Structure 1
């Protein structure tokens, strides 16, 4: 991407700033993200939304804007500068929409850069886990009165357990005998856990758990902190859509509480960090407990187990499908990822009443 092209795109948005320089931010895996520095603050984040992954980009961007505006209204008692650090601020394009589509068909959006902020790729202490839990809980609490039905489902069936089992069954039908044999132990585990892993989806479908606004990608790197590691706000809201509280809680726990990398092959190193779990849960409930039902709270541990399982199932499915979805570095990479997640479940169950 040339400097001239970036300036051209940036100047299609309704700001009064003059471009000074830019640098690419490499934290995301899907979109292209640039920090735009200007002659005078504020600085901006310019982002290209990957329309090959997200099929309805205008709907996705509208989701982000509507949810941010709702949170801003809830926090309107804060001073303006403090408010800009607590919630993402999107800048409209000059034609009025919150995106610009370039001549190549790419969609771009712009938001204010939150200065003097930091992110964490992994959690190294319980204080960061606690602050991350507070941020996620606060996001859910502040949006608890937002009508989730107006949001676009940007990735249909993303956490739908029945759909993931259907994909698994189809992969199993077509898998080679060699791959089925290598995965046999884990194929048995899938069948063993099938009924339990549908509990939350059944509660959702029977209307016993409320459909809410959920973030759906609650890894710790999507939480923004100040220099003292106090939580500021949730970022990367591309996957905001209707869901249940368990998606956000469970996926955060899955990524925060694994003591090893997701593809660590030495399973002795893979354990479930209960201390981080308790710290995250404490912060989470401090912010959102009043907006949850007793059933939602009671089933939070099951949420963690379920979200770990759904990733194990997806890795295993891709292995059976000859690795067509996730990038792999060697033939059994996806199987190793699945083994890793199943070990995390075993570690969790051995330490907690789940």
Structure 2
């Protein structure tokens, strides 16, 4: 990205400061994100939203701005400095909008950078897991009175189980005999889990669990910590939309509690970390238990299993399709990823059975 393009985009916003320098923030995989340092001593995050992935960028930006405003109102009792460290603060353009569209049709937005903060790519202790649970739970608690129907669905059918199964069935029709044979054990496993993996979807469709404001990308790197490893702020709210809490809980557990990398091929190294599960769940429930229904609470563990299954199914589907979605480094990469996630389901099931009894 050319410097003059960044400066031009930055200067469309009402920040009352002068662009001094920039650096790329490489934590995300979809958008282009830059840290901009200014003459006013306030730093900013300038972001170009990928409109190839997100088809309704104005809706996306409206979602995250309105949710941030809601959080700011709920936490208005805090001193301004502390409030600005706990909630993302978006900056208007000189025209009063929250996004700028450049000559090439790219969408940009600007938010205040939260100084003296850190992120974790992986969980390093039960304390970090606990703080992550508190923050995601707190986010869901504070937005529990926000009308989720007012949010745009920025990624349609993102966690829709019938949709993921239909993609899987379509992939089976076009897959090579070789790939079907290599994946046979896991194809059979998918069918054996089908009914259980539709339980939350069915509860959602029947109205037994309600649609709420959900984050939809609750990996630990989307939680901001202070330098003492205390939770500060939930970030990367591009995927905020209506959903069910089980998938926010489940996606966090999936990414926090795997003892190995997502594509580890030595399945003996893939184990479900029960200590981190307990710590995250404790922090999560401290914040959100009072606003969830008994039915929602009952199915949280199944939410974790379901989210692991969804990503396993997506990896397996992509393998059968000839690797057209996820980037791969070798021919069996997606199959290895799927095996990894199915092993995590097995480990979780074994450990949760012992834990529950």
Q: TM-score range by the shorter chain?
A: over 0.9
Q: Does 1:83 align with 2:97?
A: no
Cα distance in 1 for residues equivalent to 2:327 and 2:9? 31
Task: Name the counterpart of 2:144.
Answer: 144
Task: Name the counterpart of 2:262.
Answer: 262
Instruction: Map Cα deviations across residues 239-283 of structure 1 (whole Å, 9 max, x no partner).
Output: 000000001000000000000000000000000000000000000
Task: Name the counterpart of 2:96.
Answer: 96
Cα distance in 2 for residues equivalent to 1:94 and 1:275? 49
3-state SS, counterpart of residue 352 of structure 1 = helix
Instruction: Map Cα deviations across residues 114-154 of structure 1 (whole Å, 9 max, x no partner).
Output: 00000000001000000000000000000000000010000
Cα distance in 2 for residues equivalent to 1:264 and 1:87? 35
Cα distance in 1 for residues equivalent to 2:128 and 2:161? 30
Shift in Å, 1:40: 2.2
Instruction: Map Cα deviations across residues 63-84 of structure 1 (whole Å, 9 max, x no partner).
Output: 0000000000000000111100
Cα distance in 2 for residues equivalent to 1:210 and 1:191? 27
> 1:12-31 maps to which residues of 2 (within 5 A)?
12-31=12-31
Shift in Å, 1:284: 0.2
> 1:1-354 maps to which residues of 2 (within 5 A)?
1-353=1-353
Cα distance in 1 for residues equivalent to 2:40 and 2:89? 18
Give TM-score scaled by structure 1 length: 0.99
Deviates more, 1:192-201 or 1:36-45: 36-45
Cα distance in 2 for residues equivalent to 1:125 and 1:70? 31
Cα distance in 2 for residues equivalent to 1:107 and 1:8? 13
Cα distance in 2 for residues equivalent to 1:351 and 1:25? 37
How well do the aligned residues superpose, as a CA RMSD in angstroms? 0.7
Instruction: Map Cα deviations across residues 73-124 of structure 1 (whole Å, 9 max, x no partner).
Output: 0000001111000100000111111000001110000000000000000001
3-state SS, counterpart of residue 306 of structure 2 = helix
Cα distance in 2 for residues equivalent to 1:352 and 1:24? 41
3-state SS, counterpart of residue 233 of structure 2 = strand
Shift in Å, 1:7: 1.1
Cα distance in 1 for residues equivalent to 2:190 and 2:74? 43
Shift in Å, 1:298: 1.1
Cα distance in 2 for residues equivalent to 1:8 and 1:157? 36
Cα distance in 1 for residues equivalent to 2:95 and 2:247? 36
3-state SS, counterpart of residue 246 of structure 2 = helix
3-state SS, counterpart of residue 20 of structure 1 = strand
Shift in Å, 1:41: 2.0
Cα distance in 2 for residues equivalent to 1:3 and 1:169? 47
How many residues of Structure 1 are paired with residues of Structure 2 in the alignment? 354
Cα distance in 1 for residues equivalent to 2:3 and 2:20? 10
Cα distance in 1 for residues equivalent to 2:198 and 2:4? 51
3-state SS, counterpart of residue 290 of structure 2 = helix
Give TM-score scaled by structure 2 length: 0.98
Cα distance in 2 for residues equivalent to 1:98 and 1:43? 17
Cα distance in 1 for residues equivalent to 2:141 and 2:56? 27
Cα distance in 1 for residues equivalent to 2:56 and 2:40? 34
Instruction: Map Cα deviations across residues 39-59 of structure 1 (whole Å, 9 max, x no partner).
Output: 122110000000000000000
Cα distance in 2 for residues equivalent to 1:126 and 1:90? 32
